[in-house]
Structure 1
Amino acid sequence: MTKRNGNTYSPEVRERAVRMVLEHRGEYASEWEAINSIASKIGCTGETLRGWVRRAERDAGMRPGPTSAELSRIKELEREVRELRQANEIL
């Protein structure tokens, strides 16, 4: 499993790693132990994989918080507000 560009992993690698954690976390003493074990196998840090797992849980409605789609929309709206403020300053 290789990195795509720089320090970002392909969506396929992320999805597989998250699926592995969700499927095998019962086989470990804790979720963190499962995450660290799987992270070492794919070559990322435990904290990176933990973030992917949490995002997948939010997207699936298993954990409270904004989904990836909602975060993307918020970012888009913030960019639009920033552009409108700049346009207003010019006028």
Structure 2
Amino acid sequence: MPKPYPSEFRDEVVRVARNREFGVTIEQIAKDFGVRPMTLQKWLPRADIDAGTKPGQSRTEAAEIRELRKRIRLLEQENEVLRRAAAYLSQANLPGKGSSPASGRCPHRS
């Protein structure tokens, strides 16, 4: 997958495309900036969403959701480790599991 274009670059290309002179095509602008026309055509509605003029999930919101999902996965893993540790420790503290009788006397001696 190619490296994404910097957001400042995308914003500038979109600005130029929106403010283009009559008769200047998206294809010409894309060529001038060295991007594919289809890429620029995708950037235009994305810019509207990011600006809040069209409904949809902005790039900022999408990044936040990705980070939150990572955090959830990490917390779920930590929770599983704690659950296993609690189960192990509760088994280790059960009577008759290697601990000596409460009286402290050895059962074989009188």
Normalising by structure 1, we get a TM-score of: 0.70
Structure with more contact order per residue of length (Cα contacts < 8 Å, sep ≥ 6):
1
Q: Which runs of 5+ in 2 are unaligned?
A: 83-110
1:23 maps to 19
Counterpart residue identity of residue 22, structure 2: E
Of structures 1 and 2, the larger Rg is shown by 2
Q: How many residues align?
A: 81
Q: Which runs of 5+ in 1 are unaligned?
A: 1-5
Normalising by structure 2, we get a TM-score of: 0.60
Bigger fraction of residues in strand: 1
Q: Percent identity?
A: 36
Q: Runs in 1 of length 4+ with deviation above 4 angstroms?
A: none
1:61 maps to 52
1: CA distance, partners of 2:19 / 2:78 = 50
2: CA distance, partners of 1:10 / 1:73 = 18
The Cα of 1:39 is off from its aligned counterpart by 1.1
1:79 maps to 70
Residues 1:7 and 2:3 are matched in the alignment: yes
